[in-house]
Structure 1
């Protein structure tokens, strides 16, 4: 009888222990599920939308407690139109991008300090300047990008063009040769204000004797755009592209423009090495190169515009746990072999880091790097434009393209936009 009671007690104790263990495991499992963190990322590059999603999935497989939601914007969408409202309402992304310079000053309250991150010593020093304030770094360089005229080498050869144009007159001669060969010289996506108000306008600023001093003088009112020769030259360049481009530039958006160029329906497009993934997808055998944009008839060695277009930044207002995981993700992108592979082989980025090889980013990146290594590059002045003015520049230029403004009226509109932005 005693023995049976003892056995019953032992069985009861064991059952209670097993039940306790089960409850503990169940509780720990629930805690693991509760600890799963969701990060939201705003990606401004439609060119890499698909491979970026693939990279995120690869990261999630390595880090099963992390779920990443990607919102890709760009093209005809204004990346910043609603971002600040979302952040102010506490609904913004955990990781987004900032262009640095004036934009970093404006968004400073939302930028987490990243100075102590492992990737900082690996970044090319010049890439950090626009996102640095004092000794602190507030963003991770996305990449290096160069832009100018991307051209189809085979179409140039077909038209008998043996030398690249270095002056505006030579550019028009080149366009005439292409036209006579039955080739549309320019694919124009002037529906996009950013192409006109950023890429095109930047050329006139960079052609000033001292671009930085010129912007300072514009801000002080001691210089103007209205009577500046370089901006007059800019309208002449625009006129050449319109004369030799597709017939409906204001109805042609980025996607349509890239379709024309990648199909070989036009020989030249105003873009940068970032279009390489789109070319790879649509016409992987397209033989392309990149050249500087000639603005005037002054001979001389032309420079390609190369800079860091965007920085990955972390939302300072998000939770400490999310900030920690966001930092890990950014570090993984540039330090892991898998992350580096996506950046070069699939995104076709020119790395902004010393530790990432740059020999797998495609022909446009290779040519851009050649200009960079030869010292034939200049940085964009747009970083120091008043915030929001690029949209105004673009809208005014579209009015000129539609023949609603004369050259004189256009330059006055540019000047008015600058003065108005200074008062905001």
Structure 2
């Protein structure tokens, strides 16, 4: 499953919180566990809402709880794995019943965090221990902490690429296309797999912001331009490469037949060579390779084919941030779980992901990045709400797959138009939206 992929009443609630579940919120009643708080003095039952249904179904979540209980014996941890995590949690947040610990839904604006979530501690203190805390800080308090961060690039079958004669990462979009062409010419593998039908993987192309140009503020800069798809701009570079990959017939024959779950087996067996996905996906592909009797070491990760100053860059973004329901009756226990899970469970390491704990070692899947001197760009996104407002007004959907599905359709001849026309339309809509909502 992917890491990241309602009612009218709740939609209104998340825009204008007065009159919804967060109104008249209770005062903070639970301090975070401290060195003076003995673990056996922390008690209660907490419910953890999670999008990791795989961990709940496999029993891994209960194993984590058992380890947690060795330190906190008087806390009972229950899990609810939600398949449609965003949709179900949004509905629950129109009441006070949305678990004790939850991953913050993407639809909740940072400015609304104090309404729905309990502060976890001062930013000045927690930012010394964890990365990404600035993304959940309001008035000096942190309301959410990510367990992991993910790098952005391409999962690939190294054995297939090497069979095609490509042993080094492509440094430019042109070299990337040449590599895919070599795979088409010299192997039986499909060079690139779009995952078009499942849609959400197409949004991964937008995560190249920051990697292209090695710019942590690339996302924020979208609020300052009327032409995000002008030549040389990161969105132009990324979306043009997607178009060219499809137009050059370097993908599956019919994108309407793609299947996300099956794609894991296909890349594991060397039947497809490359997919744009976050680094979180590597462990899933390796597991598929092991199950298929293939070499898991054939599954590797490469940065976006672009260099700045002779070096690759990869943008790093946090996954879901864990928070405590402001209405929870067992806040100390909930906070203890978050702290333990992030720092002691080993979940980030097991997932081959970047731990948010400062100073933690990179996962083995990214060791080649470290050895090659790839710059890890932790995205700022301080103006994310402003960019999101413009995006909604433009009806483009930067974080949705729709406009990139259209790029694929035009590139393969299933829809009218051309790339220049697509970019002109996107720039026009963006400029009009900026003028409407104000800079």
TM beyond 0.5:
yes
Structure having the higher helix fraction is: 1
Deviates more, 1:129-138 or 1:145-154: 129-138
Q: Is the contact made by 1:226 and 1:408 (CA closer than 8 Å) also made in structure 2?
A: no
Relative to structure 1, the CA distance from residue 417 to residue 301 in structure 2 (aligned partners, 3 Å threshold; closer, same or farther) is: same
Matches within 5 A, 1:16-415: 37-45=44-52, 50=58, 51-60=60-69, 63=72, 65-73=74-82, 77=84, 79-98=85-104, 103-115=109-121, 120=126, 123-124=129-130, 126-180=131-185, 181-197=187-203, 199-203=204-208, 207=212, 212=217, 215-216=220-221, 218-219=222-223, 222-225=225-228, 227-230=230-233, 231-242=235-246, 243-284=249-290, 285-286=295-296, 287-294=298-305, 300-319=310-329, 322-336=330-344, 339-340=345-346, 342-344=347-349, 346-354=350-358, 356=360, 358=361, 361=363, 363-370=364-371, 374=373, 376-380=375-379, 384=384, 385-386=387-388, 390=397, 393-403=400-410, 404=415, 406=417, 407-411=419-423, 412-413=425-426
CA–CA separation in structure 2 for the residues paired with 1:121 and 1:236: 37
SS in 2 for 1:318: coil
SS in 2 for 1:283: helix
Relative to structure 1, the CA distance from residue 276 to residue 219 in structure 2 (aligned partners, 3 Å threshold; closer, same or farther) is: closer
Unpaired stretches in structure 1, ≥5 consecutive residues:
1-34
Shift of 1:381: 6.7
CA–CA separation in structure 1 for the residues paired with 2:300 and 2:128: 29
TM-score, with structure 2 as normaliser: 0.71
CA–CA separation in structure 2 for the residues paired with 1:365 and 1:253: 26
SS in 2 for 1:306: strand
Alignment deviations for residues 374-411 of structure 1 (CA, whole Å, 9 cap, x no partner): 46122347672417854664212213323336334533
CA–CA separation in structure 2 for the residues paired with 1:301 and 1:135: 35
Deviates more, 1:42-51 or 1:173-182: 42-51
CA–CA separation in structure 2 for the residues paired with 1:245 and 1:69: 43
SS in 2 for 1:266: coil
Relative to structure 1, the CA distance from residue 110 to residue 394 in structure 2 (aligned partners, 3 Å threshold; closer, same or farther) is: same
Q: Is the contact made by 1:161 and 1:174 (CA closer than 8 Å) also made in structure 2?
A: yes
Alignment deviations for residues 134-177 of structure 1 (CA, whole Å, 9 cap, x no partner): 42111122112112012222112212213221111111110111
Q: Is the contact made by 2:206 and 2:399 (CA closer than 8 Å) also made in structure 1?
A: no
TM-score, with structure 1 as normaliser: 0.73
Runs of at least 4 residues off by over 6 Å: 99-102, 208-211
CA–CA separation in structure 1 for the residues paired with 2:150 and 2:68: 25
Unpaired stretches in structure 2, ≥5 consecutive residues:
1-41
Relative to structure 1, the CA distance from residue 352 to residue 263 in structure 2 (aligned partners, 3 Å threshold; closer, same or farther) is: same
Q: Is the contact made by 1:102 and 1:386 (CA closer than 8 Å) also made in structure 2?
A: no
Relative to structure 1, the CA distance from residue 353 to residue 234 in structure 2 (aligned partners, 3 Å threshold; closer, same or farther) is: closer
Alignment deviations for residues 326-372 of structure 1 (CA, whole Å, 9 cap, x no partner): 11111222444xx23x442x33332221475x37x4x314335556x
Alignment deviations for residues 265-305 of structure 1 (CA, whole Å, 9 cap, x no partner): 11111112212332343223322322221269x99422122
CA–CA separation in structure 1 for the residues paired with 2:357 and 2:182: 41
Q: Is the contact made by 1:100 and 1:311 (CA closer than 8 Å) also made in structure 2?
A: no
Q: Is the contact made by 1:305 and 1:377 (CA closer than 8 Å) also made in structure 2?
A: yes
Q: Is the contact made by 1:131 and 1:138 (CA closer than 8 Å) also made in structure 2?
A: yes
CA–CA separation in structure 1 for the residues paired with 2:156 and 2:260: 16
Say which one has the larger Rg. Answer: 1
